[in-house]
Amino acid sequence: MRGQNNKRPNVVITGQGVVSVLGNAIPEFWHSLIEGRSGIGPITAFDASGLPCRIAGEVRDFNPSAYMEVKEARRMPRSSQMALAAALQAVRDAGLPDTMPEPERAGVIFGTAMGGVDFVDDGITALRARGYKAISPFTAGGAIPNFPAFVVSKQFQCLGPNNTTTTACAAGTQAVGEGAELIRRGAADLVLVGGTEAFIRDFGIGGFSAMRALPTSYNDNPEKASRPFDAKREGFILSEGAAALVLESEEHARARGARVLARLVGQASSSDGYHVAAPDPDNRGKTRAMRWALEDAGLQPADIDYINAHGTSTEQNDLSETQAIKTLFGEHAYKVAISSTKSMMGHAMGASGALETIISVLAIQHNVIPPTINYENPDPECDLDYTPNQPRKLAVKTALSNSFGLGGQNAVVIVQAYE
């Protein structure tokens, strides 16, 4: 039986940090969102001239040495560098020391779709060009998907439960939800959660191009390329970044006098069990995940003020998500404010859900819905309120954030104002 158990600890969010195409600090990130600024541009990480899609969301101004020693940074893949940077921001935002006061009561759960894929790519290139002795001794260790969680746990001496979610585009959201469950069941008092991704490589863009998942008509106008729910959407924009949140039991946060940003009241995950890329035509997996998250929070659809949509800008996903919201929310589907912030950020895969959880918290704190930019040509089949092109002032008490990944992996979290 799903639903709230009054005896389980309440979970609160006390710290947040970001590394993103829209800024590498929370204030800058939020300002970019409400300004409707796009972080999409021409690819500079490699020569993309031979590819049909030559644009992406690159984090261009990230300096790892601002967060760690240069020698240490060189031993980490980019995804782990960004994860550690976001976690350092979140821990400081929460007013915590760099070493956890009760290490065995502190855990880490981080999500990623690909992990240290840059180390894999560089290692293969070195091997085939110059032999195995040219491979860095840090390649194999740094390439494993759980390396970001290791780096974060080591940095802060979080010696309790440690896990990595690798559920594709749902990984960041699922990491947040699973971190809350650790606290609810009494396995930890504090959990650092988040997601990270750095997959802007030629074979990544090439592979998704082969799937016909990326747009090809916007190479000369990249800021217009990500257009969720718009009738002229062509595909998602691959992006990168990281986000981290500090979750605590309410009792633990209050005992140390922490500032509470929001409550995390509901979470759920589900599987389509249908296809690796195409959504279930009946949208049952998405609908189940949202329904279970509402049940977990003890809420009704009418209690949701804002939905941060998965909204990837692909034809099938945007339609599927719209239909799932209609199925579950009924008439309230036409009243609830929805937006896809991927219209500005692109799709950072395993980092997206953690970034979007933070956006949901910021919407609650500021009572502003960030827009879906590039919504210019209404799709008659996507006919909900997607907050087109301009932010909206709105009292937001409760927000729901969706993530739906390759492999039919679905994850949902619900955050609520702290009173």
For the 266-416 domain, the top CATH level (class) is alpha beta
Please say if the pLDDT value at position 7 is more than 90.
Answer: no
- pLDDT tens digit sequence for 255-269: 999 999 999 999 999
Segment 234-256, tens digit of pLDDT:
999 999 999 999 999 999 999 99
Alpha-carbon gap, residue 90 to 13, rounded angstroms: 10
- pLDDT for 395 beyond 70: yes
**Cβ neighbours of 107 (radius 10 Å):** 26
pLDDT category of residue 51 using cuts at 50, 70 and 90: very high
> Residues 6 or more apart from 128 whose CB is under 8 A from it?
none
Tell me, what's the pLDDT at 276? 86
pLDDT for 320: 97
Provide mean pLDDT across the span 155-181.
Answer: 98
Q: Decide: residue 364, CB within 10 A, 0-12 exposed, 13-18 middle, 19+ buried.
A: buried
Handedness of CA 317, 233, 202, 61 (dihedral sign): negative
Question: CB of 313 within 8 A of CB of 53?
Answer: no
pLDDT, residue 419, reads: 87
Q: What is the CA radius of gyration of the chain?
A: 20
Residues in the chain: 419
Average pLDDT over residues 301-314: 98
- Domain(s) labelled CATH 3.40.47.10 in the chain stretch across 12-262, 266-416
Active site residues: 169, 310, 347
Q: Give Cβ neighbours of residue 62 (< 8 Å, ≥ 6 apart).
A: 19, 24, 81, 82, 85
- Confidence check: pLDDT of 102 > 70: yes
| Best mean pLDDT range from 124-138, 277-291, 382-396 | 382-396
Whether 74 has a pLDDT exceeding 50, the answer reads yes
Structure tokens at 65: 């040495």
For residue 6, name the pLDDT band (cuts at 50, 70, 90). low
Two tokens at 83? 């994860």
Confirm if 78 and 198 have CB atoms less than 8 A apart: yes
Is the pLDDT score of 115 beyond 70?
yes
The torsion region of residue 34 among left (phi > 0), alpha (psi -120 to 50) and beta comes to: alpha
* Model pLDDT, residue 277: 81
Mean pLDDT of 204-217: 96
Residue 70 has pLDDT above 70, yes or no: yes
Sequence letter at residue 254: R
pLDDT-derived band of residue 91, with 50, 70 and 90 as boundaries? Answer: very high
Query: Which has the minimum average pLDDT: 10-19, 130-139, 236-245?
Result: 130-139
The pTM score is 0.96
- Model pLDDT, residue 1: 37
- Mean residue pLDDT of the chain comes to 96
Residues 188-209: tens digit of each pLDDT: 999 999 999 999 999 999 999 9
pLDDT mean over 328-348 = 98
Instruction: Look up the CATH number of domain 12-262.
Output: 3.40.47.10
